[in-house]
Structure 1
Amino acid sequence: MDTAYLAPDFAQPDIQGRTVRLSDFRGLKHVVLVFNRGFV
């Protein structure tokens, strides 16, 4: 992925149930996404 590429915006609920969008973090230098697998 080229560094000039903008990821598409998406929304997900946070742990408190509030909707968080990737665009909420636009302008920050780094954004780290972590997708944990559920524990079975």
Structure 2
Amino acid sequence: MAASKLGAPAPDFVLQTVSGKSVRLSDYRGKRAVVLVFVYGDT
């Protein structure tokens, strides 16, 4: 994946909830949304 540019729209992606439902970023287009990503483990 190419690096994102500051101020550019985020690319669409799909993630699964803990209950197994698929959620797309585009489902929230036009709405206020916060995307939190937690990366754990030592690298």
Would the TM-score normalized by the shorter structure come out above 0.5?
yes
In structure 2, the gaps of 5 or more residues are 1-5
For residue 36 of structure 1, report the CA deviation from its aligned partner: 2.4
RMSD of aligned alpha carbons: 1.7
Runs of 4+ in 1 over 3 A off after TM superposition: none
Aligned length: 36
Instruction: Give the aligned partner of residue 35 of structure 1.
Output: 37
Q: TM-score, normalised by structure 2?
A: 0.65
